Amino acid sequence: MNIDTPDLARTMLLIDGSHVDRLKTKLGRLIDFQKLISHFSADGVSVSAHYYRDSRDSAEQARMTRFFDWLERHAITRHGVDDFNEPWYVRERYGTNLVALASDAIIAADEADRIVVLAGDAKLVPLLERLAKMDVTVTLISSLSVPQSIAPPPPLVELADEFIDLANDVRFFMPEDGHEDMPHEPPRLGGVDRRIG
């Protein structure tokens, strides 16, 4: 688990892991984080990538361990909690961690030129409203070609300076045959890499 404040960079890529799971299920493709990072660092811009995902119970933690280890080896910072054995722990349905994501985005906005958010939850509308007031460029990545329960709501899309619909942009998918060093467990999560310009 990592609960530290993220290092500031010119571009912050903030990934809602639960949303990635659901997009993969509906779109039938793995999202390639390496391609996303390469895209936003193409002009030599430093990119800091962060992945937000809680473990809901011990069984899920066991399934996710290999993937979380893979993220760490590739310098993708995972933010999430594994406190499911504590009596006060409240289980989130999708293992989401939007509070941490939003908090880190506000902190990063003081120095960052762009915040890239791979997410789609309506709870993030206040975050994008705040970032707009701070004059920070926001790119939202998700898809409108998925069920309404997964797709970002219109207010979220409208608040973003740029919206990338993954269903219409194959640049950010992994090849159909996957990737040699991609962890194969859990099967619903994509392989990622990390580059800092």
* pLDDT band of 105, cuts 50, 70, 90: very high
CATH number of the domain that residue 59 is part of: 3.40.50.1010
Number of domains in the chain: 1
Mean per-residue pLDDT for 127-131? Answer: 97
User: Quick check: 180 pLDDT over 80?
Assistant: no
Counting DSSP H helices and E strands in the chain, the numbers are 6, 6
* 0.95 exceeded by pTM: no
Contact of 195 with 38, CB cutoff 8 Å: yes
pLDDT in tens, 1-35: 455 555 445 899 999 999 999 999 999 999 988 88
- Residue 5 located in a structural domain: no
- Residue 183 located in a structural domain: no
- Residue 196 located in a structural domain: no
User: Quick check: 115 pLDDT over 80?
Assistant: yes
User: Quick check: 96 pLDDT over 70?
Assistant: no
Range of 37's domain?
A: 11-172
Query: Residue 26 corresponds to which tokens in the numbers above?
Result: 């509906």
- Residue 4 located in a structural domain: no
> Exposure string (b/e) for 106-118, b if CB count within 10 Å is 16 or more?
eebbeebebbbbb
45 forms beta bridges with none
* 138 burial level (CB within 10 Å; 0-12, 13-18, 19+): buried
- Residue 118 located in a structural domain: yes
SS3 sequence of 78-122: EECCCCCCCCCCCCCCCCCCHHHHHHHHHHHHCCCCEEEEECCCH
- Residue 47 located in a structural domain: yes
- Residue 53 located in a structural domain: yes
Report the alpha-carbon distance of residue 143 to residue 118 in Å, rounded.
10
Q: What element of type H or E holds 48?
A: strand 47-52
Q: Which of 18-22, 45-49, 69-73, 117-121 has the lowest mean pLDDT?
A: 69-73
- Residue 44 located in a structural domain: yes
